[in-house]
Amino acid sequence: MNTATAAMRLGLAAACLASAICAADEALLPGDALRDASGPTPSKPTLAVPGGFERGWEKQPPMIPHPIDKYNIDLRQNGCLKCHSPATFEVAKAPKVGDSHFLDRDGVKLDHLAPRRYFCTQCHAAQTGAIPLVDNVFEGG
Ligand code: HEC
Ligand code: HEC
């Protein structure tokens, strides 16, 4: 085998290796709608999901069914409470924060939101309404 042939074989081997990796990628991402515009209706993620999401189990923090990018939570303000606090929820037609959010860690009821419940997004996450990339086989309890 001369040097040129050896170099060519090496090149081919590298190409095969690269395509093997690409093939593995394809297998991991079956959501063709994301790449193939001619396929079935592509996934259109939306952050507004009227009616909200079912809970997987009783004590699950419910997923957030609306966009939250405009609401800040910092030392001075908590945008979520503009709609979800006991004082505002009726006007905003929003569900009130859970009663558990007023209990301190010893279960004592406070007359204000418990500090450990202040950072809402520590437990509640926004969820897009999109075609899942992979099947979710989780079964709630
Ligand atoms: C402008 C008013 C408004 C603001 C601000 C707001 N929400 Fe909401 N939120 C709503 C309304 C209205 C619903 C009910 C929507 C529905 O069920 O379709 C809701 C639903 C929810 C739910 C679902 C409750 C359940 O029982 O399923 C969660 C969790 C939630 N919001 C968390 C948050 C968090 C966290 C923030 C701040 C980052 C926030 N919201 C800011 C109005 C608001
Ligand atoms: C430490 C975790 C945690 C934090 C922080 C937290 N929550 Fe929750 N939240 C939960 C859990 C768990 C539930 C469901 C069980 C319950 O009601 O306690 C819940 C329930 C809710 C519900 C539904 C209440 C109902 O009666 O169905 C709303 C609305 C909500 N939270 C909003 C908020 C908002 C707004 C904040 C921030 C001010 C917040 N939560 C902070 C864990 C949390």
The structure's pTM equals 0.79
89: tokens are 């929820």
**Which amino acid appears at position 139 of this protein?**
E
Mean pLDDT lowest for which of 24-28, 39-43, 95-99, 137-141?
Answer: 24-28
Distance of CA 3 from the midpoint of ligand 1 (Å): 68
Closest ligand relative to 60 C-alpha: 2
**DSSP characters over 21-77:** HHHHHHHH---GGGT-TTSSS-----S--TT----SSTTPPPPB-S--TT--BSSS-
CA 97, 102, 107: angle at the middle one, nearest 5?
135
Whether ligand 1 lies within 6 angstroms of the CB of 124 is answered as: yes
Residues 114 and 102: beta-carbon distance below 8 Å: yes
Per-residue pLDDT reduced to its tens digit, 47-74 = 787 788 888 888 899 999 999 999 999 9
Ligand lying closest to the C-alpha of residue 80: 1
Percent of the chain whose predicted confidence (pLDDT) is above 70: 67
Side-chain half-sphere CA neighbours of 50 within 13 A = 1
What's the pLDDT tens digit per position in 6-33?
A: 554 555 445 545 554 544 445 445 554 4
